[in-house]
Amino acid sequence: MTRESAERADTRRTLYARRPPAAVQLAAAGREALRKLDPRVLHHNPVLFVVATGAALTTALWLTALAGRESETPASFIGGIAFWLWLTVIFGNLAEALAEGRGRAHAESLRRTRAQTTALRLREPRTDAARDEVAAGDLRRDDVVIVEAGGIIPADGEVVEGAAAVDESAITGESAPVIREAGGDRSAVTGGTRVLSDRLVVRITAPAGEGFLDRMIRLVEGARRQKTPNEIALGILLAALTIIFLLVSATLVPYSGFVARAGGQGGAVDLTVIVALLVCLMPTTIGGLLSAIGIAGMDRLLRANVVATSGRAVEAAGDVGVLLLDKTGTITLGDRQATAFVPAPGVAARDLAQAAQLASLADETPEGRSVVVLAKEQFGLRARELSPGDAVFVPFSAQTRMSGIDVDGHALRKGAADAIAVFLAERGGTLPAEIRAGIARVAKLGATPLVVADGARALGMVVLKDVVKGGLQLEFEEMRRLGIRTVMITGDNPLTAAAIAAEAGVDDFIAEAKPETKLAEIRRWQQVGHLVAMTGDGTNDAPALAQADVAVVMNSGTQAAKEAGNMVDLDSNPTKLLAIVGIGKRLLMTRGALTTFSIASDIAKYFAIIPAAFAANCPELGALDLMRLGSPQSAILSAVIFNALIIVALVPVALRGVSYRPAASAVLLRRHLLVYGLGGLILPFPCIKLIDLLLGFLGVGGVA
């Protein structure tokens, strides 16, 4: 490990893995579990609310039994049932509290980062404007502040002037500073990060309390967590099942009384037994673990250095079929730089460089600025000071894909080959064959040619080069094994796009794409039934990111892109989607596996508690007592104890998630039906029998 990587690892451990000792975590979770017994909190989980109501009812019955109320049911048995029902509720709350507690240390670290700072607010968006010192919490959207070297950026915003190195380790865990500058796709800054050099003029884009850091804190704490559609649907199903079993249990009291009178033996089933039967009939296990599974899934995503603003996106990631990737900044490093001027026949290289420089004055992208720098380095050309009265500037845009200037009777333009070809055609000119051949040669090398024109005349090309990020081919190969199709979308010409696509290892590419092209491609895949994921970082990606089912935005991207996406990759690594897909699949599989286990284990509990509940009225039901339990009371209490303890046993599975290996869905389904379906059906039998033997040995709970 290099010194730099070791420093990054230390930073990440400090920020993301700093946790109290296990005993302290458990104690804190225990206190939170008791706090969640508040009915105002508990009613959000219908299953546990019903169990708590049953626990309260049996507690009241136990107290009346202790007070001398005559009953055929021993007070010790009633008290045992009440005790374990309360533990069932507490264990369910404990699972959720442990999941929430995993992010609290991280949240505290982020809160320290978000400590109140003062800001220098400019009265006008100019560096020489008058300044007012205000608290960071008093800033509003569209306020403009200046941040000097060593200062803390007070709130989320966009750099409107300047360029500086920024320390974002408090957010990303990376110790290496990043460059943030006005224009282009690296203008977004996050509140709480520190400017290390120079100074920045920032326009505030998020009001106090709604910034990226604030949302991150709420997410890691589990606060304001919105349940996903699947989680809501499962919750509704569990609530419906609870109501059904509640109605069934309520009818058993008069039904058992009728059977007793008709058969001349036994009597109505005791209310304590009815409550125990109801709790064991309900899917209590998954009801107690459901919330913890969702929170733990978000925590695993955060540990991958990805912040999700939507739990729905995490689930959707598990079923993604198509991945669209923006080329610049996503597949490539994104720092395309001008490397050469290639003049057309009869054009001097210096004249081409001067025209390209002038045409780039209105291009605020890093590529445009690199043209100005190259002209200065190769020919000593310096940018002319031009006022709006001397020239008409044509700013670069993603729609036109060119920039330019009208000055001294010349209409100078620089941009993509097809855009310049249209510009020339409108003025009666064409691209010379020599330039077309040069475009093909440059594109085959994986570089990007920009054509420079003066009115109806093509002057030559500017060559831009970018570098594909390392390790992408292996990552894309893994995605193919998962059945995910990768498509690169770029504004480059087809030859350049083909060269980059081949080097990166994507399945397909779309060249000469405009923002609306990306949007149309996403809709096309969605219309044929695929869930589509997209990664991007630029403002021009925002419409497509908003349309995608899973929209992963690079942390280095613009504020507009971050607002359109539903996930932010703090590492700005496009291949992170592979980890996101794995996390999404683990979340879905964990919920499905534990739901299967819960329902399967209920079947075993029926064989324990139903024969016991009706033993006096229907001795024939004793044939269902496959476990040959000690007594009816012992059988009922054993089932209730198992029902409580299994929640505790499954908490690590809910928090960690079930194991996941890339495989076909049918294979995964068979595996989990075998492990969690058959396992859930078989495991309760020996466990309940063992608890029954232990109760008989100890002589507790009214079963002596």
pLDDT at 5: 43
In this structure, of 31-35, 58-62, 244-248, 464-468, the range with the lowest mean pLDDT score is 464-468
pLDDT at 425: 92
Any idea which residue has 């309260």 for tokens? 56
Q: What is the mean pLDDT of the chain?
A: 80
Q: Which residue has the higher pLDDT, 210 or 6?
A: 210
Whether residue 2 has pLDDT greater than 50: no
Helix, strand, coil tally for the chain in percent (to 5): 55, 15, 30
- Of 231, 292, 234, the C-alpha closest to 647 is 292
pLDDT at 341: 93
The pLDDT tens digits for 316-330 are 888 888 988 877 766
- Global pTM value: 0.68
User: Cα separation of 86 and 95, whole Å?
Assistant: 14
Measured N-to-C along each axis, helices 212-221 and 284-303 cross at an angle, to the nearest 10 degrees, of 140
pLDDT-based confidence at residue 3 (cuts at 50, 70, 90): very low
Whether residue 517 has pLDDT greater than 70: yes
**Beta carbons within 8 Å of 528's beta carbon, 6+ residues apart:** none
pLDDT-based confidence at residue 208 (cuts at 50, 70, 90): low
In this structure, of 227-236, 392-401, 426-435, the range with the lowest mean pLDDT score is 227-236
**Beta carbons within 8 Å of 120's beta carbon, 6+ residues apart:** 131, 132, 133, 145, 146, 147, 148
Whether residue 276 has pLDDT greater than 50: yes
The pLDDT tens digits for 143-165 are 888 888 888 888 888 888 888 88
In this structure, of 5-19, 185-199, 349-363, the range with the lowest mean pLDDT score is 5-19
* 118 sits in which H/E element: strand 118-122
In this structure, of 383-397, 586-600, 650-664, the range with the lowest mean pLDDT score is 383-397
Contact between 116 and 126 (Cβ < 8 Å):
no
Whether residue 174 has pLDDT greater than 70: no
Mean pLDDT, range 22-39, rounded to an integer:
82
In this structure, of 190-194, 201-205, 650-654, the range with the lowest mean pLDDT score is 190-194
Query: Which position among 156, 185, 270, 326 bears the catalytic label?
Result: 326
The pLDDT tens digits for 597-632 are 998 888 877 777 777 666 655 666 666 666 777 777
Out of 194-208, 222-236, 367-381, the most confident range is 367-381
Strands 320-326, 531-536: pairing kind? parallel
Q: Which residue has the higher pLDDT, 104 or 628?
A: 628
222: its two tokens: 């589990």
Whether residue 516 has pLDDT greater than 60: yes
Phi and psi, residue 466, nearest 5°: -130, 165
HSE value, Cβ hemisphere, 13 Å, CA-based, for 48: 32
Known active-site residue 128: no
Out of 4-13, 230-239, 577-586, 677-686, the most confident range is 677-686
Q: How many CB atoms lie within 10 A of CB 135?
A: 12
Q: Which residue has the higher pLDDT, 604 or 464?
A: 464
**Beta carbons within 8 Å of 650's beta carbon, 6+ residues apart:** 285, 289, 594, 597
pLDDT at 109: 61
CA distances from 170 to 79, 83, 148, 157, 191 (A): 51, 46, 19, 17, 10
Whether residue 686 has pLDDT greater than 80: yes
End-to-end CA, the chain:
64
pLDDT at 216: 67
The pLDDT tens digits for 4-28 are 444 444 444 444 444 556 677 778 8
Q: Which residue has the higher pLDDT, 21 or 339?
A: 339
Q: What percent of the chain has pLDDT over 90?
A: 13
pLDDT at 656: 86
